[in-house]
Structure 1
Amino acid sequence: MNIPFQTIDWDKIKTTEHIGTTGVAYWQTIQLDGLRIRKVIYSENYLADHWCQKGHIVHCLEGEFSSESENGETFKLKKGMTYIVSDDLSSHRSRTVTKATLLIIDGAFLKSNKENQDE
């Protein structure tokens, strides 16, 4: 995949609303071949409505949020912190107490080699 030099003016990117179990997530999404880049704002008291197995690079731009694992672990991320995980290596969901703004990058490059390791 080749991506030519470009800038993203987030003020010009359409916002979509995604209702959580509680709260709302507002997404602005750029979709390229095999790559998705999102600026996401979680409202106060947001809880994702599903456990996600997809891989992500998640960077907290503002506020703070928790990434909860289905196995009971919780990781708190504050402004300036990042987490990284490949596809199928975690079952996780996001939760906030206060508003948080994230940059989330995912795509084919995060495909897990787990299937090959299990053979």
Structure 2
Amino acid sequence: MRPGWFAYTQPDQRSIVTLQGDRRQSGSPADGAIAWDQIARVLIESLHTDAADHQTLELVAEHGPDQDDLTTDFTSLAPDSAGSLDAAEDVVDLPMESEPKMFRDDLATITAGSLKAGD
């Protein structure tokens, strides 16, 4: 699960939306937001729903009420391909310059060896 920005939702933003393809890449809450309890709900329901097996999904919330059941959301998603590093519907080999700046900065820190073993 790839949740949107945590805790940036409005009180009436309760409709859970599952997406695929990792296409929202602004690196800001404009990509979508999701509440902590909604993340927990999707994680728990995915453990009890066979249709959620081997699926990667982006998770955001839109304005509207909670759904009673998320099974339809899971069954509408494509499964991940066996052996692929990319999830279903992802752009294959996303160019590094298209990654959010925060990710690029963190990766540069790690690859530069500034983190020591055991830190």
Q: TM-score, normalised by structure 1?
A: 0.22
Richer in strand (by share): 1
**Higher Cα radius of gyration:** 2
TM-score normalised per structure 2:
0.22
- Of Structure 1 and Structure 2, which has the larger fraction of its residues in helix? 2
Structure having greater relative contact order (Cα 8 Å, sep ≥ 6): 2
